[in-house]
């Protein structure tokens, strides 16, 4: 079971980063379009984060299927092509410091949030020990 969950996490990561260009909003929209399920960006982040982290969650199989079906659907070909071209174009153009900062924050958002959660939990534990 553990191995299956790890494989799903890896598959999810591959889809998000390679096919959806790390755009978690687009991933959430694609899942909603295929399933009618309103999935939050935070859920996507939790499915991607390393399993030993506190905020990690197991990615359901239906999410992978929804994303694969979305990518195979001929109705989405044009949007996928446009987004891919836009991503490649933005990758090759010179970026301003603000664009670089936004890109770093977006790509590291899972780690940033996880560190914040872990720090809050540590502080909470210390606070409880102090006043117990």
Residue whose entry in the numeric block shows the structure tokens 């991503």: 87
CA–CA separation, 88 and 73 (whole Å)? 22
pLDDT for residue 107 is more than 80: no
Give the mean pLDDT of 40-65.
91
Place 72 in a pLDDT band, splitting at 50, 70 and 90.
Answer: very high
Using the predicted structure, report yes or no on whether residue 1 has a pLDDT greater than 70.
no
Question: Is residue 71 very low, low, confident or very high in pLDDT (cuts 50, 70, 90)?
Answer: very high
| The predicted structure's pLDDT at residue 99 | 74
Nearest to 47 by CA among 15, 19, 8: 8
């Amino acid at each position: 079971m553990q191995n299956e969950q790890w494989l799903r996490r890896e598959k999810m990561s591959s889809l998000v980063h390679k096919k959806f260009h790390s755009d978690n909003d687009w991933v959430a929209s694609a899942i909603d379009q295929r399933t009618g399920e309103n999935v939050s960006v935070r859920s996507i982040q939790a499915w991607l984060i390393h399993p030993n982290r506190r905020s990690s969650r197991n990615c359901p199989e239906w999410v992978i299927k929804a994303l694969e079906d979305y990518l195979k659907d001929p109705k989405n070909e044009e949007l996928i092509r446009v987004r891919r071209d836009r991503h490649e174009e933005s990758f090759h153009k010179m970026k301003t410091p603000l664009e670089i900062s936004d890109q770093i924050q977006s790509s590291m958002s899972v780690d940033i949030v996880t560190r914040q959660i872990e720090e809050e939990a540590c502080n909470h534990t210390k606070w409880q020990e102090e006043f117990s």
